Chain A
Amino acid sequence: MRRHVLSGFRLSTGYTLAVLGSCVLLPLAALLWTACELGPSGWWAQIGTRRVLASLRLSFGAALLAATIDVLLGLLVAWVLVRYRFALRRVCDALVDLPFALPTAVAGIALTALYAPNGWLGSRLVPLGIEVAYTRLGVLLAMVFVGLPFVVRTLQPVLENLESDLEEAAYTLGASSPQRFIRVVLPLLLPTLLTGYALALARAIGEYGSVVFISGNRLFRTEIAPYLIVLKIDSQYDYRGAAALGAVMLAASLVLLVAMALLQRWTHRWAIAR
């Protein structure tokens, strides 16, 4: 192989691989090994129970819905933050990172306190028949909360770069304001929106701390998959069951990771064209 001109290749790559190996690769291999040991039938025996299936349905279903809501809300927030100047813009911009930086357990108990039947919002919503705490709606809300910054922060730089010249070009070609948004801005944003969607989705599927408090973990109804993993490890010492479920979630993460890599390539193609 060609000699590297700058030095430090062995040291830096060695350290990188050592940390990745002991913290990521080895555990990953252990999970795959344990899951493979089960075999398809053993795996299904762990996964195919009503309780596990219900939790997976909730985790994936709510996450898909939450990511969709995040894309809509995130587009609104990112658009407003990039395009308009208003009094609280800087504060709002800084706030977007809150779910990202707030410890998940803290967010979880805060949301629960707000929406519990005796909470600020809960005490007003429950009489209207809207129950958030300890229901699937609560799970959805918590997932929307944690996913929002991913969409906004993915969109913002792209919106900034696509600034006015493209739109101005569309304007000189006679496009109206909504037309400019739908025909010029949105198609250009599509790969970014999808990337944001995938990021929010990945986070929502795996989220634990923000969700377990508000979900209430009611059997068959509001148990999320990560909760079942914790339960199996913590009180049942059922590592195989946990690994079987963990493998499903890991597979979902990997699929999303590949999807994001492909999206990146797609965006890059446009970046060159621009």
Chain B
Amino acid sequence: MAAVSAMVSIGGRPSWSIRVARVFLVVAAVIVLAWLLVLPLIAIFAEAFRQGWAFYRDAISQPDSIAAVRLTLTVAAIAVPLNVVFGLAAAWTMTHFNFPGKALLGALIDLPFSVSPVVAGMMLILVYGKYGWLGSWLEAHGVQVIFAVPGLVLATVFVTLPFVARELIPLMQAQGSEQEEAALTLGASGWQIFFRVTLPRVRWALLYGVLLCNARAMGEFGAVYVVSGHLRGLTNTLPLQVDQLYQENFSAAFAVASLLALLTVLTLGIKRLLEWRHGEALTGR
């Protein structure tokens, strides 16, 4: 661990005991991360390829898996844009206006983060399910929400709701309203201010939010599990497909899971890149 060096070196050269303590702390932290985080990640790919490349290829190319990929992409393609618009609208409201109940609105925006995904799914069933509040009305109009794609979208929107708003609100708060006001005195309309001044200044934070939102949307399990009804090939997203395969075909489950793990690694890579290249634009500092 010769590479270990102190960043904060108060009072010149640290004493021998302090240097030992530092090395010990770094080693301990690396062990914690390796054991808790790296090992499971490696395990996924190891299990996925345990029965060879051919098996892996077959597992991920069977029709149910393909259908699951397609459904996952579809759900994300609807839920993520919805949340982008929501995040922008919520951030615009929260940062440019003062109104009674603003604090409550802020709390509501954050609420889905602290609600159990399972409870979220259940709540949606209570409203949109067959015996739910809107169930009979929806049925009469021929709309099926629960055990169908709209339900998956609703559940996904619920659990990913705060992602974009959460990135934008603190940033736009830090940036203040001055530039929007300047644009206003120069004669710009509301939409012009939004598209020409606000949006360009938050674009990296928006992308960051979209990235996290998308990762969660594609990977959500609990909430989607409850509302999906697990109809194979119909309402199975990738995580649900992993769950079903896990009961039947261990290695195939890991093969499909490795796709999601790959998405995760990719997401984290892009996230790092964004933080590295556009760190200032993300925090407004």
Whether the Cβ atoms of A84 and B30 lie closer than 8 Å is no
Given A76-B28, A102-B264, A208-B118, A84-B108 contact (CB < 8 Å): no
B115 contact from A81, A164, A206, Cβ within 8 A: A206
In angstroms, Cα B132 to Cα A164, docked, is 57
Interface size on B, residues (CB 8 A): 104
Given A5-B184, A104-B239, A230-B118, A15-B86 contact (CB < 8 Å): yes
Contacts of B221 in A (CB 8 A): 103-105, 208-209
Whether the Cβ atoms of B122 and A229 lie closer than 8 Å is yes
A-B contact count (CB 8 A): 303
Whether the Cβ atoms of B44 and A106 lie closer than 8 Å is yes
Contacts of B238 in A (CB 8 A): 103
Whether the Cβ atoms of B22 and A6 lie closer than 8 Å is no
Determine how close the nearest CB of chain A comes to the CB of B83; give it in whole angstroms: 8
Given A95-B33, A104-B239, A110-B43, A19-B86 contact (CB < 8 Å): yes
Whether the Cβ atoms of B105 and A164 lie closer than 8 Å is no
Given A19-B161, A23-B161, A85-B5, A209-B239 contact (CB < 8 Å): yes
B177 contact from A6, A80, A82, A103, Cβ within 8 A: A6
Among the 9-residue stretches A40-48, A86-94, A187-195, the one with 4 or more Cβ atoms under 8 Å from chain B is A86-94
Determine how close the nearest CB of chain A comes to the CB of B89; give it in whole angstroms: 4
Interface size on A, residues (CB 8 A): 94
A41-76 at interface with B (beta carbon < 8 Å): 73, 76
Does B149 reach chain A (CB closer than 8 Å)? no
Among the 9-residue stretches A25-33, A123-131, A132-140, A266-274, the one with 4 or more Cβ atoms under 8 Å from chain B is A25-33
Tell me the interface secondary structure of chain B in the complex: helix
Whether the Cβ atoms of B267 and A110 lie closer than 8 Å is no
Does A213 reach chain B (CB closer than 8 Å)? yes
In angstroms, Cα B120 to Cα A229, docked, is 11
Query: Which of A11, A13, A88, A209 counts the most chain B CB atoms within 10 A?
Result: A209
Whether the Cβ atoms of A257 and B264 lie closer than 8 Å is no
Given A31-B123, A76-B25, A76-B28, A229-B107 contact (CB < 8 Å): no
Determine how close the nearest CB of chain B comes to the CB of A118; give it in whole angstroms: 11
A92-114 at interface with B (beta carbon < 8 Å): 92, 94-99, 101-107, 109-111, 113-114
In angstroms, Cα B89 to Cα A202, docked, is 27
Does A83 reach chain B (CB closer than 8 Å)? yes
A84 contact from B7, B33, B226, Cβ within 8 A: B7
Whether the Cβ atoms of B161 and A84 lie closer than 8 Å is no
Whether the Cβ atoms of B116 and A84 lie closer than 8 Å is no
Whether the Cβ atoms of B126 and A106 lie closer than 8 Å is no
A246 contact from B96, B119, B132, B260, Cβ within 8 A: B119
Task: List residues of chain B with CB under 8 Å of any chain A CB.
Answer: 1, 3-8, 10-11, 18, 22, 25-26, 28-30, 32-33, 36-41, 43-44, 47, 82, 85-86, 88-90, 92-93, 96-97, 99, 105, 107-127, 129, 131-133, 154, 157-158, 161, 177, 180-181, 184, 189-191, 193-194, 212, 215-216, 218-222, 225-226, 238-240, 242-243, 246, 253-254, 257, 260-261, 264, 267-269, 271-272
- Of the A-B pairs whose beta carbons lie under 8 Å apart in the complex, a sample of 19, sorted by A's number, is A6-B181, A8-B191, A9-B96, A12-B90, A23-B158, A23-B161, A24-B158, A27-B127, A79-B25, A83-B8, A94-B269, A98-B264, A104-B239, A106-B44, A114-B39, A206-B117, A213-B246, A233-B121, A250-B119
Query: Top 10 nearest A-B pairs by Cβ distance?
Result: A206-B116, A103-B219, A27-B123, A7-B190, A208-B222, A209-B221, A30-B126, A80-B29, A110-B40, A226-B118
Taking A90-B272, A95-B37, A105-B239 as known contacts, 20 extra A-B pairs with beta carbons closer than 8 A to each other, sorted by chain A number, are A1-B99, A8-B92, A13-B89, A19-B82, A85-B3, A86-B4, A94-B271, A98-B268, A104-B220, A104-B222, A106-B239, A109-B257, A110-B47, A114-B43, A145-B40, A167-B8, A213-B246, A233-B125, A239-B125, A257-B114
